[in-house]
Structure formats: structure tokens, C-alpha cells
């Protein structure tokens, strides 16, 4: 147990690498990871696990201050499981200390929900992670809503947030980063009661 107690948390922002994807709905996980890195005053560096990582701490000084590895897998979304599993093994992170931050179609924009475990709901990043590690990791689910009209899901998630959505995007990313910090410092129930909407 003592080894486990010293293990860091691994916060994975899910997205696709490359500037052409940066503003996509599918990349909200990357946006949150970038903000958390800024708050930790860290810069992402390449890791051999095909990911960019920042190591630092989250939470107030004292016992709630936690060691954290922030990661952005540099594989494409549907291959996220490989880099995440490699990071888990490298940093010796127990599954219940892994947090995936991702877009969620079945929740309206800009709504946030946190949970532990569950299905992948058709999300390719989660599908890949669950296939590699099992489902029992934390999820911070950023609602993006469903595509309008007959638009295909794949087209919708790979489009940038609309101009209307962008008015609330900074607030949403900020709130999501707060929720991640709360989850790590104070636990899932506290974070759910404060941030689930």
C-alpha cells in the first residue's frame, strides 16, 4: 500500500495531435490539459510513450497536495490506449488514479459530469483506453451535445466549436480544470456534488 500511496495521478486530456485539430470539439481534453499545465507552471515535453507530459503538483499545500502527471497522447484518438497504458506502467499509476478528460455527445454543451468507470458510449478514445486497461478509471465528461440535423457524428466532433459555443468555451475549460483539481485533491463525491450539472 505504501507504494500506491506515493503513486502520482495521471490526468489524460484526450484529443488529436496537430494544429488542424486544435479547435475541434473532440480536442476539449487537450484544451483542459493545456490550462492545467499553465496552472502548474509546466511545459509539455515529449515522452517515449508517444505522449506529451508535464509533471507537477495539484491542490493546496499539505496532505491534499498531489503529485500529478498531465498527458496528451500523440497517437490519434482511436489509439489513445497505447500511450496511456505505457504512461501508467512507466509512472506505476493505479487505475483508480487515472483521469480521462474527454468530449461527450450525450451531454449538452457546456455541461460537466464526473464518474468512475462505465462504458465508452461510442467514444473512440475511451474505447481504446478501456480495451488496454479495463474500464475502472475516472472520466471527466465535457458535454458537447449532439450534431444538428443529419450531420454525421464524426464530422461534428472534428469541427471547431461554433462562434456561439466559443463565447462559453474559456469558462467551460476553466470549470473543467477546476473539477479535475477538485477530484484529485478532494475525491470523486466532493467533485461530483460541486461540478456535476
Active site residues: 26
Alpha-carbon distance 105 to 75, whole Å? Answer: 22
* Distance (Å) of CA 93 to CA 112, 145, 173, 185: 25, 32, 25, 16
User: What proportions of the chain, in percent to the nearest 5, are helix, strand and coil?
Assistant: 45, 20, 35
Alpha-carbon distance 194 to 183, whole Å? Answer: 10
DSSP 158: T
Instruction: Tally the residues of the chain.
Output: 197
Alpha-carbon distance 169 to 7, whole Å? Answer: 32
Amino acid at each position: 500500500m505504501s507504494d500506491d500511496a506515493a503513486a502520482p495521478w495521471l490526468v489524460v486530456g484526450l484529443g488529436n495531435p496537430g494544429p488542424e485539430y486544435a479547435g475541434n470539439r473532440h480536442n476539449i481534453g487537450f484544451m483542459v490539459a493545456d490550462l492545467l499545465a499553465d496552472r502548474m507552471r509546466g511545459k509539455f515535453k515529449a515522452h517515449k510513450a508517444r505522449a506529451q507530459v508535464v509533471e507537477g503538483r495539484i491542490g493546496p499545500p499539505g496532505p491534499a497536495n498531489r503529485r500529478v502527471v498531465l498527458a496528451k497522447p500523440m497517437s490519434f484518438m482511436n489509439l489513445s490506449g497505447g500511450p496511456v497504458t505505457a504512461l501508467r506502467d512507466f509512472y506505476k499509476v493505479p487505475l483508480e488514479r487515472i483521469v480521462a478528460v474527454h468530449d461527450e455527445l450525450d451531454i449538452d454543451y457546456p455541461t460537466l459530469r464526473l464518474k468512475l468507470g462505465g462504458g465508452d458510449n461510442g467514444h473512440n478514445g475511451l474505447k481504446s483506453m478501456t480495451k488496454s486497461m479495463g474500464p475502472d478509471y475516472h472520466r471527466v465528461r465535457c458535454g458537447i451535445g449532439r450534431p444538428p440535423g443529419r450531420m454525421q457524428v464524426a464530422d461534428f466532433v472534428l469541427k471547431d466549436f461554433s462562434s456561439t459555443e466559443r463565447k462559453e468555451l474559456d469558462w467551460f475549460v476553466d470549470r473543467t480544470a477546476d473539477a479535475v483539481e477538485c477530484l484529485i485533491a478532494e475525491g470523486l463525491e466532493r467533485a461530483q456534488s460541486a461540478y456535476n450539472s
